[in-house]
Amino acid sequence: MFCETSDVNILIVDDNYKSLFALEKFLKKKCDATIIKASSGNEALTTMLNHDFALIILDVQMPDMDGYEVLEIMRTNEATSSTPVIFLTAVYNDDEHSFKGYKAGAVDFIFKPVNEEVLFCKVKVFLELYQKRLALQKEIETRKKIEQRLKWQAQIIDQIHDAVISTDLDGVITAWNKGAERMFLYSEKEAVGKHVSFLCANFDDCYTSLSFPGLIEHIKEHGHYSAEGIRRKKDGKCFHVHISVSLLRNMDGDVIGTVGYSIDISKRKKVESELARSNLDLKQFAHLASHDLQEPIRMVGSYLELLKKKHAHLLDDEANEFIEYAVDGSKRMKNLIRDLLEYSQVGKGSKEFEKTDCLEVLCDALDNLKVAIEEKGAIITHDPLPVIMGDKVKLVQVFQNLIGNAIKFTKDKPPRIHISSEFRGNEWLLSFKDNGIGIEDKYKESIFTAFKRLHGKGVYPGSGIGLAICKKTVMHHGGRIWIHSEVNKGSTFYLTIQHDKALDSKGDN
Ligand code: ADP
């Protein structure tokens, strides 16, 4: 029989070296514990200051300080107060002394000559107990740490401004933070135990069309679920929320419910709807104004032309020059009104997006720009271009505006334009790089607003609406547009277009 007790110390104390070594030899043979020896009470107490012992086997009769005194001092020290002590004695083998030993706190009292097997059985029990105690202590410490962490996490969750709500697999609320209390006005006590759907303004709105098991399946498949909806507070008031729900798992990784994070987005919704309404008003106004202005300006233009044609000979040179200016002005006004009308139409009554090959878009745009390309000797190159979901006619217009500008805004050299494309996981990045006059950094935002031009019409023709239309169209396709430019070196216009996953399965791109 061998006692496996690693990392465990046993202290043996005896003033008789012969007994001390014999006991050490026996214990070393039987246990893999570390045996430490002391030959006096003082030495034993000093050793105890530096080591933790699973068991102390203490001789009772020793000069200077006997075993009882050693034990008494030990019990006053917190570190050694509960260390088990077995007394060994060759002299005091009577009940009175053994009773004294037990009273002092010894766990056993053994008379010499020692029956080694009996001693070993007792030592073994204490070593096992010690190891169990160590394991228990470790467990308690780990639990304390976990408890502290949980407490800390609970505090963090409570301090979150927004609502954090967890449910079981059936949708019954299991936890409700202070943020939820503030948002819904129900206390934790009122909410926990109820089905989460009691917060929805109406049943249809709750997790849109997903039933609770459906919601869990959805999260398993997509990682999480997020949506906007309308919720009702305890006082009956409804408000808009954005919710994001994930699965809740236990320590073993099993799904035990959901945890949802809700943000009150009522203010944002209000601003959005006000913006949409004012955008609509603005669009209607721009459309009406430009539409209604077309007729009078057409009349001004045609009567001026008539005046020039029929009465030019009756007027002097100066008057004819003035008529020229007026005709020119009315033509520009006509173009401006036409462009404004076009701008106000972007996104309005637009077609459903369809599968659109950007190479075809480019070809159409180049066809429309044929004259300008030939006149300026422009060289246009491109990377392989993607197939996307979009409105082809509008995209041709974007390509045409960007390439047309790249051809137009050059000086003293033939335009060189390169169109590249790069796939970025969920979107395509298209760029239009030219070797033109470039623009200063301070204008890189404003050139996308309607009628913003950096040059007089005499230098470069145009109405300043092209990039505004590009921006509107790109945004309508869920993308962004921006420019990097260096004066006299050239510009690169970048635009992104959302990638539609449905195209992947069709083997496009
Ligand atoms: P337009 O071309 O009719 O002037 P745009 O809206 O297309 O109007 O462009 C607005 C302004 O942005 C232009 O007047 C010009 O100053 C600047 N711009 C546009 N494209 C380029 C380019 N490729 N290189 C340099 N400047 C450009």
- The pLDDT profile of the chain, 509 residues, written as one tens digit per residue, is 555 555 789 999 999 999 899 999 989 888 888 999 999 999 999 999 889 999 999 999 898 899 999 999 998 988 888 899 999 888 766 777 778 888 878 888 888 888 888 888 889 888 888 889 889 999 999 999 999 998 998 888 888 899 999 999 989 999 999 999 999 999 999 999 999 888 887 655 555 445 778 888 889 998 889 888 889 999 989 999 999 999 999 989 899 999 999 999 999 988 888 888 877 777 777 777 777 777 888 888 889 889 888 988 888 889 889 988 888 888 878 887 787 777 776 666 556 788 999 999 999 999 999 989 999 999 999 999 999 999 898 899 999 999 999 999 998 889 999 999 999 878 999 999 999 999 999 999 889 987 777 777 677 877 788 999 999 899 988 899 999 999 999 999 999 998 877 667 654 55
Phi-psi region of 455 (alpha: psi -120 to 50; beta: other; left: phi over 0): beta
Atom of ligand 1 nearest to the CA of 450: 6
**Do 492 and 484 contact (CB within 8 A), yes or no?**
yes
Atom of ligand 1 nearest to the CA of 438: 25
Spacing, Cα 417 to ligand 1 middle (Å)? 15
d(CA 279, CA 281): 5
Please name the residue whose Cα sits nearest to atom 21 of ligand 1: 405
Strands (E), 69-162: 85-89, 108-111
Atom of ligand 1 nearest to the CA of 434: 23
Please name the residue whose Cα sits nearest to atom 20 of ligand 1: 405
Spacing, Cα 174 to ligand 1 middle (Å)? 59
Please name the residue whose Cα sits nearest to atom 7 of ligand 1: 466
Spacing, Cα 347 to ligand 1 middle (Å)? 22
pLDDT (0 to 100) of residue 505: 60
Query: Other CB atoms closer than 10 Å to residue 410's CB: what's the count?
Result: 20
Spacing, Cα 475 to ligand 1 middle (Å)? 19
d(CA 175, CA 102): 53
pLDDT (0 to 100) of residue 209: 43
Spacing, Cα 276 to ligand 1 middle (Å)? 28
Closest among 333, 332, 331, 385 to 359, alpha carbons compared: 385
3-state secondary structure at position 359: helix
Spacing, Cα 114 to ligand 1 middle (Å)? 106
pLDDT (0 to 100) of residue 204: 53
230 sits in which H/E element? strand 225-232
pLDDT (0 to 100) of residue 385: 94
d(CA 393, CA 361): 8
Spacing, Cα 346 to ligand 1 middle (Å)? 19
d(CA 79, CA 326): 106
With the most atoms of ligand 1 within 8 angstroms of its CB, the residue from 335, 398, 409, 493 to mutate is 409
d(CA 174, CA 193): 6
pLDDT (0 to 100) of residue 211: 74
Spacing, Cα 502 to ligand 1 middle (Å)? 35
pLDDT (0 to 100) of residue 254: 92
d(CA 410, CA 54): 90
Query: Other CB atoms closer than 10 Å to residue 221's CB: what's the count?
Result: 8
Q: Extract the tokens encoding 193.
A: 């135990």
pLDDT (0 to 100) of residue 208: 44
Spacing, Cα 288 to ligand 1 middle (Å)? 27
CA–chain centroid gap for 100, Å, is: 69
Closest among 36, 106, 102 to 74, alpha carbons compared: 106
With the most atoms of ligand 1 within 8 angstroms of its CB, the residue from 405, 439, 459 to mutate is 405
Closest among 228, 238, 234 to 263, alpha carbons compared: 228
Q: Extract the tokens encoding 8.
A: 């465990």
Please name the residue whose Cα sits nearest to atom 16 of ligand 1: 454
Ligand 1 neighbours by CB, cut-off 6 Å:
401, 405-406, 409, 434, 436-439, 447, 452-455, 462-468, 491
3-state secondary structure at position 490: strand
| DSSP designation for 204 | G
pLDDT (0 to 100) of residue 233: 93
232 sits in which H/E element? strand 225-232
Spacing, Cα 226 to ligand 1 middle (Å)? 41
Atom of ligand 1 nearest to the CA of 464: 8
With the most atoms of ligand 1 within 8 angstroms of its CB, the residue from 447, 455, 474 to mutate is 447
With the most atoms of ligand 1 within 8 angstroms of its CB, the residue from 402, 459, 467, 495 to mutate is 467
d(CA 126, CA 132): 10
